């Protein structure tokens, strides 16, 4: 079990490293996500072949998976854009509002009741966001884009929570990565005409290395390994550990700043940033604890009613 827990933390560390890789890559966010999803699709296709998992999905279900893939593409593009517009630390602080977005979207999309403790934790996260926006006002645009990226992530996570009940995780992710890649390819004509002076798909210097790490290690390996660990580790522990991703990412960004890596000069933050980030992370880490407590109380109440 100790080996499994250490592996889980290593996977979350890899996910926290994605913002660092996004900063190191020289290609723009749209082209970057196109390359990432294209390589991830190929890698997941290889996993399906090796594991002899069937490919076939009903037409209506395939369209749903491809549509969610388009949301994944939008999330990753805005995520890497936020890291370019601000610092990695500010980007990850904004991304940490994922739990807040989920608590707002789940009642709307899944028709469940609003939980009072989620409202309280959401207000705590909003206070944290306010402190960060005041402390790092020059990076406000990047922070807002990161918060929007967290909203997109929450949206496809809520939709995936229903789709994963009907499809094997690797097959589901393969179709979503394919949908993400295809949606960007279809967006390219509009993007190249109205948003940029032409596509910049060419990779330079160490871009191939960073991209292979991003797609192969941080996406295909990390995902397949996390699915395997979920067979032995409870969902509560997995979710609680995944919530540490912004912490690991911010620590890695600070290490990059101390080492003097080019592009990470913005990582030196004020006290208000760290106070706001602590409030957001507190709301994120406390959420699964209260959620589990709420589920236990509901089961106990149901058992007493039957008795």
Q: How many folded domains does the chain comprise?
A: 1
Separation of alpha carbons 86 and 269, rounded Å = 12
- The torsion defined by the Cα of 193, 195, 197 and 199, in degrees rounded to 10, comes to -80
Residues composing the chain: 307
The domain in which residue 217 lies consists of 2-306
- Which tokens hold the place of 223? 């995902």
Q: What is the pLDDT along the chain (307 residues), one digit of tens a residue?
A: 778 888 988 998 999 899 899 989 999 999 999 999 999 999 999 988 888 877 888 888 999 999 999 999 999 999 999 999 998 999 999 988 887 888 888 888 878 777 788 888 888 888 988 899 888 888 899 999 999 999 998 898 888 878 878 888 888 889 999 999 999 999 999 999 888 888 899 988 899 999 999 999 998 888 878 877 877 776 667 767 777 888 888 888 888 888 888 878 878 888 889 899 999 888 888 877 887 787 788 788 777 777 6
- The region, left, alpha or beta by phi > 0 then psi within -120 to 50, assigned to residue 270 is beta
Q: Report pTM.
A: 0.88
Separation of alpha carbons 274 and 31, rounded Å = 32
Q: What pLDDT is attached to residue 75?
A: 95
Separation of alpha carbons 133 and 281, rounded Å = 16
Q: What pLDDT is attached to residue 208?
A: 93
Q: What pLDDT is attached to residue 211?
A: 94
């Amino acid at each position: 079990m100790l080996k499994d827990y250490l592996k889980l933390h290593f996977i979350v560390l890899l996910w926290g490293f994605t913002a660092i890789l996004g900063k190191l890559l020289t290609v723009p966010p749209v082209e970057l996500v196109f390359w990432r999803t294209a390589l991830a699709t190929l890698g997941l296709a290889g996993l399906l072949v090796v594991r002899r998992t069937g490919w076939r999905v009903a037409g209506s279900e395939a369209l749903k998976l491809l549509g969610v893939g388009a949301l994944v593409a939008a999330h990753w593009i805005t995520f890497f854009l936020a890291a370019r517009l601000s610092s990695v630390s500010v980007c990850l602080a904004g991304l940490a509002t994922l739990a807040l977005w989920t608590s707002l979207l789940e009642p709307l999309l899944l028709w469940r009741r609003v939980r009072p403790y989620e409202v309280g934790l959401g207000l705590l996260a909003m206070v944290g966001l306010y402190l960060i926006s005041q402390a790092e006002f020059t990076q406000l645009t990047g922070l807002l884009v990161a918060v929007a990226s967290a909203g997109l992530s929450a949206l496809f996570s809520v939709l995936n929570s229903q789709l994963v009940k009907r499809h094997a995780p690797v097959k589901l992710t393969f179709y979503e990565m394919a949908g993400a890649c295809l949606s960007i390819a279809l967006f390219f004509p509009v993007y190249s005409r109205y948003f940029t002076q032409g596509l910049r798909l060419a990779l330079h210097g160490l871009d191939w290395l960073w991209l292979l790490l991003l797609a192969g290690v941080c996406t295909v390996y990390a995902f397949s390994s996390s699915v395997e660990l979920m067979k032995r580790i409870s969902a509560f522990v997995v979710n609680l550990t995944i919530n540490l991703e912004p912490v690991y990412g911010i620590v890695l960004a600070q290490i990059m700043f101390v080492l003097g890596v080019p592009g990470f000069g913005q990582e030196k933050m004020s006290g208000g940033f760290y106070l706001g980030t602590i409030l957001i992370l507190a709301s994120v880490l406390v959420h699964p604890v209260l959620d589990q407590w709420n589920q236990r109380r509901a089961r106990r109440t149901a058992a007493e009613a039957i008795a």
